[in-house]
A and B are shown apart, each in its own frame.
Chain A
Amino acid sequence: GAVVSQHPSWVICKSGTSVKIECRSLDFQATTMFWYRQFPKQSLMLMATSNEGSKATYEQGVEKDKFLINHASLTLSTLTVTSAHPEDSSFYICSARGRDTIIPRPQHFGDGTRLSIL
């Protein structure tokens, strides 16, 4: 159980393009979804937290107008990187947390999206 699907797994596109990444919880309702970014040999950095039906909460230094997050349902959140540039190239990973009965409630990660901007 607790499967999170992320799509696409790999994107290569030109500078200036907008890219949408989908994150779906397949077998549970994700009340909260998280978006992380990971540069090579570095740890995961939280970009934003989104609760279903609410606006996302962005971490300090993350541009909300550049990284648009939508969490319209309990099973789907999307991250859109608008007007992507080479410095946005990174590994983007989503995670989801549901109404687990165990405490603390762990996050379950998607397989990640490797974004390369040329």
Chain B
Amino acid sequence: QKEVEQNSGPLSVPEGAIASLNCTYSDRGSQSFFWYRQYSGKSPELIMFIYSNGDKEDGRFTAQLNKASQYVSLLIRDSQPSDSATYLCAVNPSGGYNKLIFGAGTRLAVHP
């Protein structure tokens, strides 16, 4: 079973703080990793993707990938109440280039 694990949360952070969201995956051959944000009752929207070890920054978001440890994380700087949502980690498993395996998501709550 190829799994993607996330802490369900809620992760509560004050406005302006850094939110750190983590994700581990079981398939060592996974190639690409995606972070999606999903507001309640809505479909996921892509925040960013990463496929090389290290950090990738896009505005207030930084994705970090460590393939040796099989984890990927998302940092949100200067968190805003509008960032409150469920963040889904998704992985392209080995041998399944087309597919995405989603984690259950971490609920983030940014309070003023």
Contacts and interface: CB of A to CB of B under 8 A. Distances in A.
Interface of A: 6, 32, 34, 42-46, 49, 93, 97, 103-104, 106-112, 114
Contacts of B88: 43-44
A95 to B, nearest CB: 8
A46 B99 contact: yes
A107 B45 contact: no
Contacts of B45: 109
A46 B46 contact: no
B29 interface: no
Interface in B78-98: 88, 92, 98
3 tightest CB-CB pairs across the interface, nearest first? A104-B32, A112-B43, A109-B43
B49 interface: yes
Nearest to B51: A104
Given A43-B105, A44-B88, A112 B99 contact: no
Contacts, number: 47
B43 A110 contact: yes
Given A43-B103, A109-B43, A49 B34 contact: no
B34 A106 contact: yes
Interface residues of B, number: 22
A50 to B, nearest CB: 10
B104 interface: yes
Nearest to A42: B104
A6 B44 CA distance: 13
22 contacts: A32-B98, A34-B98, A43-B103, A44-B88, A44-B102, A46-B101, A49-B98, A93-B43, A93-B44, A103-B51, A104-B49, A104-B51, A104-B92, A106-B34, A106-B46, A106-B49, A107-B34, A107-B46, A107-B100, A109-B45, A111-B42, A114-B41
B62 interface: no
Interface in B29-85: 31-32, 34, 36, 41-46, 49, 51
Nearest to A4: B43
